[in-house]
Structure 1
């Protein structure tokens, strides 16, 4: 299975610089349909209006953490199957159970190749 490079992806991060970096890395990989949200509440609103092929979320946002966002996504029948990759600053962030709830987990800093390595198990080859 492979993913369409036009599949919609949602980046969720409370730092605009990180959103810009993630958007650029995804574009380097060939993805073209990229939306963004600066917090979990905005992400949930966007997810209620559009079906995303992938959500990439920072783990340490406020007022809703990435883990809280993931729990809300998994609790909703409409979004519970949406692939979700968590981005963390530190390997100690989140419990093992929380990490398993996400489809992927990537530590900052990372480049396009390491992002692709984390996305292949989620999407398949691209």
Structure 2
């Protein structure tokens, strides 16, 4: 059974308890030989004006990486991947699971490719 991005997000909510000092979470994206992957990090720092905060790795979940190997992520360019991830994360933040998770206590949640701009979801 293939787990979905949403399954992975819910699993993170159920299994992780980052320190309350984590101010922001970033879902980074990168391309591998097998397609795209997403990962989660948390930072104790957040600066709206300086995206370098996402380089501070103060929290890493046990299940940090999720390969985007499902059909909807295959054979599409990075722009479509980013668009889809923004959409899926935006839907996730509207769920009860998000509202009762550690994510909801953060100052910010963002996504973006490692060499690109950050897109703030929350």
**TM-score normalised by structure 1 residue count:** 0.28
Return the structure number with greater relative CO, CA threshold 8 A, min gap 6: 2
Q: Which has the higher strand share?
A: 2
Q: Which has the higher helix share?
A: 1
**TM-score normalised by structure 2 residue count:** 0.29
